[in-house]
Structure 1
Amino acid sequence: MYSLSSPIQSVSRVAPAYQKRLLKLGIKNVRDLLYHFPFRYDDFSKIISIVDLKLNETATIQGEVTEIENIKTWKKKMTVTQAFVCDKTGMIKAVWFNQPYLIDQIKEGSRISLSGKIAFDGVLFISNPAYERLPPAADRQTMDNESRTTSDKRFAIRDLRHTGRIVPIYPETSGITSRYLRYIIQIILSSCFIEDWLPQEIKKSKNLPDLNEAIKKIHFPDSFQEISRAKRRLGFDELFSIQLVSVRQKFQWQKQRAPGIEFNQPLIKNFVDGLPFKLTDAQRTAAWEILNDISKTVPMNRLLEGDVGSGKTVVAAIAALQTAFDGKQAAFMAPTEILARQHFETIKHFFSNQDLPIAFLAGSDCQTNLPRHFGKKEIIEKIKKGEIKIIAGTQALIQKKVEFKNLALAIVDEQHRFGVAQRASLQNNISRIKDDSPKEIPHLLSMTATPIPRTLALAIYGDLDISRLNQVPKDRKEIITKIVKPAERQKSYEFIRQQIKQSRQAFVICPRIENESNKETGAQIFSDKRKTAWLETKAAEEEYKKLSKEIFPDLKIGLLHGRLKPAQKQKIMKEFSAGSIDILVSTSVIEIGIDVPNASVMMIEGADRFGLAQLHQFRGRVGRGKHQSYCLLFSQSNSKDSALRLRALLETKTGFDLAEKDLLLRGPGDFIGTRQSGLPDLSMASLTDFELVRQAKNEATAILSKDPELKKYPLLAEKLSKFKEIIHLE
């Protein structure tokens, strides 16, 4: 008997060569194999007599092989295997191409089952069919298809694996076919019992099948209804597990205590009235929700998500101002030094009329808004004494070297890039920040400029309260977006030149060069981050050479990519912001946090390789000043799907609407980058089922409310522990 933890090496008939190939699909043990779900099914369940076959239909025939031979076609240099198969009603030819070994597997006189499409070449024949020799139990029934009873047919189908039934098709890799996977999975299913961890009351109330049944039917269903039922159970399992992690984290977070920050209405009113722009209604609502949260002693854990240019930073600044004037400290943390520095400059500008000491602290640099210069050690000491009220930096701020006096508000930008496990780690680090209030933890405000579809927000960010900024300032001009055909490329270059003559600037974004070795069909590729960075850098460097030497040799071209040192990045961004660089060639590193009001053109090479949400982020890097701005999309793809997505970018202007479209067009697996998630594709598809996500969250909340430690549910507790090891949402 196998268990889910049995290594793949222990499975009989899995030779060492196949073990290595299975590793390419991420299959290390029995669980990995059983949870390697089909991505589609071929319906070969229609078993009919040869005399009843019709052109272009997909069907299964069963009969005796009367003749089989290999024929070499010298002109095309291929081998054609042809066999003649007969039943009591007639005879048909079966043809296979470049599979000469079949003559050793299919013998004259043997009984065989063939499934495939019926073609015509003077006479009807079955083209390149799936095949399998009929098992002894079915041999006695196959010749007289019309005389079989229903129970006889079911018996025959149960014995079949590749034909005469609904046949699963799996993600494959070199040397591992769906045929082989069906063979191995059937062996395991016959000798593996899977303990069902889902509580009986949930299965009953939600009408879900047992786990054993669901696993068997997802691989070898007798009907498409069984597939749907199995998918619903398996999808619910993963969603329920996600919700258990999220809800438990939320409960644990809320058990702790945070400092209450008293609302100072005159302070906030004076600040808002003094801004050079009017807050949108969405900004006012979000600010009130945050100020209300931090006034309580229950720690806030809120996500502020906003469209590009919707003004998240000023909303966070209002909360930081309230915190600082209540005698406490606030910290802005960003994923990059460029973004952290930009926060520092923006906050410094917002609070130029306030008597507030503000500091920027990162690995390679430090700065304050105070009259004289302070070194890094001095700034860290001032933070420890509470003399610096607002600090902007990278997540290094929560490391051991930095101590606060009374940190009451932690603001983390672009935290949507962290999943459940990463957020839990970040929250734990924040809760352990050293200050003079060890019994209290700071309130946590996360921000993201990537709008998240409603279903994903509920599924992946269930532990957070959410505020949405779905409005942009009314006076902001709409960015003109165009798809540029290859023949129009030269015109686009000339257009960019004209913009620069008008003292504007331009971005040019490059996708990474495709890695040919990662194109194995259906393989789940776990990309190496350093390799990805290298590929992106290489693409940007090649574009930089082309533009600076061939297209715009008379203009100042800059190059920005993730492999540059922070000081180099900062230097380039300073030059671009100051207007010293006309065109900045960049990788996706500029997706977030770049604010250059004078930039009016965003040119995106290989636009089809980016998701809609990411393209929208790129587009949002321009249009921040008073000038009309443009986004030019270049694509070499002839794919209809790519054309649909790029057309959606033209037709849809808000990030929230685009996020919903992107979810529908690409699926949640691509949307949240789950190539590194650890979740199966089937579970990813379940993330689009809002009702199933809602049910999973409700059940998780109910069960943890009555049994927080899951003492009455040991199997569920064990599953949750293992799930937290597997899951790695990005």
Structure 2
Amino acid sequence: MIADPSPSPPAVDWVRLQKALSIEAERGFNDLEGQQQRFSDFLNTSLRQGLHASIALSGRDQERWQSLAEQFGRYDDLSFAQRQHLVADTRRFLHQMQQSVEALPLMAAAAAGHYEAAGSRPPSAKSARPPKTTDLAGSAATESPQGLDQPLTYLKGIGPKNRDRLAKLGILTLQDALFYYPRDYIDYARQVKIRNLVPGETVTVVATVKCCNCFNSHRNSKLTIFELLVFDSTARLKVSRFFAGTRFRNRGWQERQKRLYPPGCVVAVSGLVKQTKYGINLDNPDIEVLGSDADSIESLTVGRVVPVYPLTEGVGADLVRRAIVAALPSAAQLRDPLPKALRQQYELVDLPVAIAHIHFPPDSESLSVARRRLVFDEFFYLQLGLLRRRRQQQAEQTQIQMAPTGALIEEFYQMLPFQLTGAQQRVVQDILHDLQRPTPMNRLVQGDVGSGKTVVAVVGILAAIQAGYQAALMAPTEVLAEQHYRKLVNWFNLLHLPVELLTGSTKAAKRRNIHAELATGELPVLVGTHALIEDPVQFSRLGLVTIDEQHRFGVAQRARLQQKGDNPHVLTLTATPIPRTLALTLHGDLDVSQIDELPPGRKAIQTTLLSSRDRTHAYDLIRREVAQGRQVYIVLPLVDESEKLDLRSAIEEHQRLQATIFPEFKVGLLHGRMSSADKDAAITKFRDRQTHILVSTTVVEVGVDIPNATVMLIEHAERFGLSQLHQLRGRVGRGGSQSFCLLMNSTRSEPAIQRLRVLEQSQDGFFIAEMDLRFRGPGQVLGTRQSGLPDFALASLVEDQDVLELARTAAEQMIQQDDSLDGWPLLKAELDRRYQKLMGGAILT
């Protein structure tokens, strides 16, 4: 019989292919022999025939299909790990292809030959169910769930108790497990001989057991010691494990351990190589018994790259790893929200592949590619959310519009004893331009210490007042609020404008008076701390909100102040220079202006790093400066003497300096635990030169402006961040005299000394902030969890700056095409889920 010269191509038998892959994984990736074909031959043939089947594949998918077929053609040459990942990748790919094909006949023949691995038979068409999914190590899981929101109890081995344990880590569903990323990896994939073991490396040794022993420690009644003596063709090695707990003292348990490793059996041992006084050892190793030297390793930890997950009390690493491995086949159900064109443009691997390889990477390159995709996602959805919010803000309308000029502003300019710098003039124009627009201003002004941000803000406040509106200025501390209030009083008295201060220390009668004047509109400007957001504070016509050092306020606190008015303009100030990566992450929805120029006449502060043996020189400099009529700050990290830390405290140091070091001078004290009245008294005495030296904690970091102070001595400088030290240094050098910053260092740590030397070399706050970010990370640079910094699972603002820039560009591209994102419903849904989660449940204001 002559065959039809143009037969119709056979349809793809998805179920049968998945069944074959499942059995291969269950039996250890050994290329099982079926009744008619080997596993690899069956897959190679079926995939090649399936490529010509009547299914609509994109060019990229056809290339992937062809590549998989070719890899099964050389299956014999692949290592265990490569086979493992090839099978897992093929299962995910086939699942994706099946999802994209409609009305495929389930049981049509995929190949001329029939493949039956280990006597297994395909399910009948009537009873066809989803095949069993298998984890990457070959252990079978339960049948595939229909959705990623399935609870973890759907997985094999995850009962109610384990479910409750995993819930402590926030792992409640299959999707939670897939997106619970490792924090690190241990590479046990490198197999070496015993003679070649090098301390500090993580390796796997395949060796033969000579003897095994398990016994109770003579020194610790609760410790049980397990010892295994193994050897290979090069040397011997003693392997030890330690078990703490009374249950391990049971002789029956110990004998069972010994029976697991009889003399002559072959084992694979993975661990960190350590040098001890007894010789080379593997630290707390993982051990698997093999049938022979040539056997494949099936353990989840032995002989492979092992993911290390964040844990908590009561949740072991094995449980987390087991749950994630069991959930991994469900990654095939993930629908990639990123448009295909965007993934191709930015060379991003598909999401299911990235998820699989971030947990169990076949090699370092696959891990790098997977991590890049997932880091991109974290940055991209944040930037997309910030940009969409910015568009929404720009679409909002406000009735609060203000003229860029007027009598008050002109009178203020004439009253100032100095000219605004070019940078200040540029920023003022940005602000006044925003205030004229029908959309609310949302602008951040960044400026180094002493650059004149307050003057710029005052111009905006005067624009609001002359337009008939009220203004609020909120600062994070009473010291800073009082400093702003004092400046505004000096200027506004000359302009015949009332201004009041509201803090937690304001008396009740005064507070009631302020509330009344605000409500009637008699009071145009109110300066204060968090007290401004309390319920009794009601403005008549709030037009401008100014927030200083805004990263020190919580998201909700900033929002509550804005809600005191009807879509008021918002101006935020910060003297903490923020690197671009941090600014994009924190303030991606804001317009940003920079005052990058200091007022003329300022001299660079001479900064010197000192050790304790240089203390005499520091005190001599202080005496010389005070003798010339100057004043000095001495800053310490603690208020009271600490029993745990050998640090000088502010109270103890104040007493010592006044009594024994500088008895001829007046030494004042300032710290955060003092009452507001005492703080104000201490600062006033220092300002009025009644005290020559002010011993303080970091309460003087911002807001204390004493032009006559020329020396800043910082004790235990290594305990401060660079940005904070730069802020403290900015308390001097505010007059025309040469000023000095002395960094007293009490550590011999070379990294700490190198970090402090950055301040000796630079006065540029942005450079210093960038270096601080690299040394300490973003959380410590900002100094508070209230900063609104997103909680990334993988992304690092230090290591992944290039990916952040790409993600920002991609997000801008998407918003420009369609700011509603209606054309990408999957992307829009994922944005809503991720953006809220990234921002801790609150959107940045």
Give, in whole Å, the separation in 1 of the partners of 2:838 and 2:496.
49
* Corresponding residue of 1:613: 723
1:573 alignment partner, one of 661, 666, 683: 683
CA distance in 2, matches of 1:143, 1:506: 74
Shift of 1:514: 12
Q: Structure 1 residues 569, 93: closer, same or farther in 2, change over 3 A?
A: same
Classify the secondary structure of the residue corresponding to 2:403. coil
Match of 1:143 in 2: 293
Q: Determine the structure 2 residue equivalent to 1:596.
A: 706
Q: Name the count of aligned residue pairs.
A: 677
Whole-Å Cα distance in 2 between the matches of residues 462 and 210 of structure 1?
A: 27
Map of 1:186 onto structure 2? 322
Q: 1:694 aligns with which of 805, 808, 811?
A: 808
Partners of 1:560 and 1:447 in 2: CA distance = 25
Q: Which residue of 1 aligns with 2:71?
A: none
**1:444-523 correspondence to structure 2 within 5 Å:** 444-512=570-638
Higher RCO (CA < 8 A, seq sep 6+): 1
CA deviations on 1:640-668 (whole Å, 9 max, x unpaired) are: 32112101111111101111122222233
Shift in Å, 1:119 = 7.8
Alpha-carbon separation, structure 2, partners of 1:303 and 1:708: 30
Note the residue ranges of structure 1 that are not aligned, 5 or more in a row: 368-373, 435-439, 519-534
Q: Is the 8 A contact 1:678 1:727 kept in 2?
A: no
The 1:94–1:680 alpha-carbon spacing in structure 2 relative to 1, beyond 3 Å, is farther
Q: Give the equivalent residue in structure 2 for 1:231.
A: 371
Q: 1:420-463: CA deviations, max 9, x gaps?
A: x44xx624541x325xxxxx421110000001101211122111
Name the SS of the counterpart of 1:603 in structure 2. Answer: strand
8 Å CA contact 2:475, 2:547 repeated in 1: yes
Question: 1:221 aligned to 355, 361, 364, which one?
Answer: 361
Give the alignment's TM-score, normalised by structure 2.
0.70
Find the partner of 2:558 among 396, 405, 426: 426
Residue matched to 2:19: none
Letter in 1 for 2:372: R
- Structure 1 residue identity aligned to 2:549: E
Residue 516 of structure 2, aligned match among 353, 374, 381:
381
Instruction: Provide the secondary structure at the position in 1 that maps to 2:713.
Output: strand
Q: What is residue 742 of structure 2 aligned with on the other side?
A: 632
Deviations 1:188-234 (A, max 9, x none): 33136467576141555544445554344333322122222232233
1:74-107 Cα distance to aligned partner (Å, 9 max, x none): 99x99997643234x4443135597798985773
2:499 to 355, 358, 361: 358
- Secondary structure at the counterpart of residue 494 of structure 2: coil
Tell me whether 1:114 sits opposite 2:269 in the alignment. Answer: yes
User: Aligned residue for 1:525?
Assistant: none
Displacement of 1:309 in angstroms is 0.5
Instruction: Tell me the equivalent position of 2:672.
Output: 562
Worse-matched range after superposition: 445-454 or 393-402: 393-402
Q: What is the CA–CA distance in structure 1 between the aligned matches of 2:551 and 2:686, rounded to whole Å?
A: 28
Q: Secondary structure at the match of 2:186?
A: strand
Q: CA deviation digits over 1:342-387, x for unaligned, max 9?
A: 11221232344323333333343389xxxxxx94434433333333
Partner of 1:679: 791
2:337 to 177, 199, 207: 199
Contact 2:654 2:667 survives alignment (8 Å): yes
Q: Are residues 1:407 and 2:542 paired? A: yes
1:84 to 225, 229, 232: 229
* Corresponding residue to 2:189 among 14, 32, 45: 45
Q: How far did 1:591 drift?
A: 1.6
TM-score, length-normalised on structure 1? 0.79
Q: Judge conservation of contact 1:63–1:85 (CA < 8 Å) in 2.
A: yes
Query: How far off is 1:253 after superposition?
Result: 2.8
Question: Relative to 1, partners in 2 of residues 1:491 and 1:108: Cα closer, same or farther, differing over 3 Å?
Answer: farther
Deviations 1:10-64 (A, max 9, x none): 99689989989996xx767678887665444333322245577679875422122
Distance 1:386 1:73, change over 3 A: closer
CA contact 1:256–1:298 (8 Å) conserved in 2: yes
What residue in structure 1 maps to residue 29 of structure 2?
Answer: none
d(CA) in 2 for partners of 1:32, 1:550: 62
Structure 1 residues 459, 55: CA separation in 2 closer, same or farther (over 3 Å shift)? closer
Aligned to 1:526: none
Please give the residue correspondences for 1:262-281 in structure 2 after superposition, counting only pairs within 5 Å. 262-264=403-405, 268=409, 271-281=412-422
Partner SS state of residue 801, structure 2: coil
The 5-angstrom pairing of residues 61-72 of structure 1 reads: 61-68=205-212
Following the alignment from structure 2 to structure 1, what is the Cα–Cα distance between the partners of residues 507 and 335?
A: 52
CA distance in 2, matches of 1:231, 1:96: 35
Q: Report if aligned partners of 2:408, 2:495 keep a CA contact under 8 Å in 1.
A: no
SS of structure 2 residue aligned to 1:472: coil
Which amino acid in the other structure matches residue 393 of structure 2? W
Output the CA distance in 2 between the equivalents of 1:5 and 1:653.
Answer: 56
Match of residue 390 from structure 2: 250
| SS of residue matched to 1:705 | coil
1:291 aligns with 2:432: yes
Q: CA deviation at 1:246?
A: 2.3
| Alignment of 1:128 onto 2:290 | no
In 2: Cα distance, 1:361 partner to 1:405 partner: 17
Contact 1:114 1:129 in 2 (8 A): no
Matched with 1:663 is: 773
- Structure 2 match to 1:319: 460
Distance 1:126 1:186 in 2: 31
- C-alpha distance in 1 between matches for 2:277 and 2:515: 86
CA shift at 1:629, angstroms?
1.7
Is the Cα–Cα contact under 8 Å of residues 815 and 821 in structure 2 kept in the other structure?
Answer: no
Q: Is the 8 A contact 1:116 1:126 kept in 2?
A: no
Which residue identity is paired with 2:190?
K
Deviation at 1:469, TM superposition (A): 0.8
Q: Distance in 1 between matches of 2:466 and 2:459?
A: 11
CA distance in 1, matches of 2:282, 2:424: 62
Q: 1:117 to 1:11 in 2, by over 3 A?
A: closer
Task: Look up the match of 1:371.
Answer: none
Change over 3 Å in CA distance of 1:427–1:73 after alignment to 2: closer
Contact 1:21 1:175 in 2 (8 A): no
Matched, 1:393 2:505: no
Deviation larger for 387-396 or 442-451: 387-396
Q: Distance in 2 between matches of 1:38 and 1:536?
A: 37
1:660 to 1:118, Cα distance in 2 relative to 1, 3 A: closer
User: What do residues 267-320 of structure 1 show as CA deviations (whole Å, max 9, x unaligned)?
Assistant: 645533542222221111111111111011111000001001000001111122
